[in-house]
Chain A
Amino acid sequence: GAVVSQHPSRVICKSGTSVKIECRSLDFQATTMFWYRQFPKQSLMLMATSNEGSKATYEQGVEKDKFLINHASLTLSTLTVTSAHPEDSSFYICSARVESAQGGYTFGSGTRLTVV
């Protein structure tokens, strides 16, 4: 079935540095990918919708200059957290739309970001 590989699974970085999270579709082409953020014991908050070859669409309240999304190919979307601060510590999950997959969406396994 359709698989999205998300890396890294866990990252610890220092305040002020940038972190890149990758999501790759392994056996299908992902025209649209979604990036979510999840705080402990809370729901998934949609941050942005990423479309191959065009600018991402950000949800209200999400800083596009802080959370840079690049979807340069049909198999790769990246989220870069720039100048990370402790309040950016969270669980980030990507998802891709797959028309042929059961239910139409497949999720990455998530990235636990801790900023110290």
Chain B
Amino acid sequence: GEDVEQSLFLSVREGDSSVINCTYTDSSSTYLYWYKQEPGAGLQLLTYIFSNMDMKQDQRLTVLLNKKDKHLSLRIADTQTGDSAIYFCAEASGGYNKLIFGAGTRLAVHP
């Protein structure tokens, strides 16, 4: 079945870049997503990438997709304390294109 995996925790210094990695299993996924969740809140779409793209950049966010290895990464440049949150990788899979989420990576930004 579908499965999405990501590392659980990342700690970075303010101003450095953060790289969050994700692997997925469904090679037929059309879209892959990165969502941000702050404590007690819903999900905020950060960015997404279509499966025929290798890279997408949006301001401080860069998404890299290696379709051969089924590997997705999110790079946050100049990480700020406001970026501290949980980041979820997700793939759209199945007949209804349901979103399957990874376990989430908790990003902690320290001064």
Contact = CB atoms under 8 A, between A and B. Distances in A.
Partners in one complex: yes
A51 B97 CA distance: 13
Chain A residues touching B, majority SS: strand
Interface stretch (A14-22, A39-47, A63-71, A76-84): A39-47
Q: Interface residues of A toward B: which range?
A: 20 to 34
Contact of A104 (B31, B47, B104): B31
A103 interface: yes
B96 A49 contact: yes
Given A103-B31, A103-B33, A104-B92, A46 B100 contact: yes
A114 interface: no
Contact of B45 (A32, A43, A57, A103): A103
21 contacts: A32-B96, A34-B98, A34-B99, A43-B103, A44-B88, A44-B101, A46-B100, A46-B101, A57-B96, A93-B42, A97-B96, A97-B97, A102-B45, A103-B33, A104-B31, A104-B48, A104-B97, A105-B33, A107-B42, A108-B42, A110-B42
Given A49-B98, A104-B31, A110-B42, 15 more contacts: A32-B96, A34-B98, A34-B99, A36-B101, A43-B101, A46-B99, A46-B101, A97-B96, A102-B45, A103-B45, A103-B48, A104-B48, A104-B92, A105-B92, A106-B45
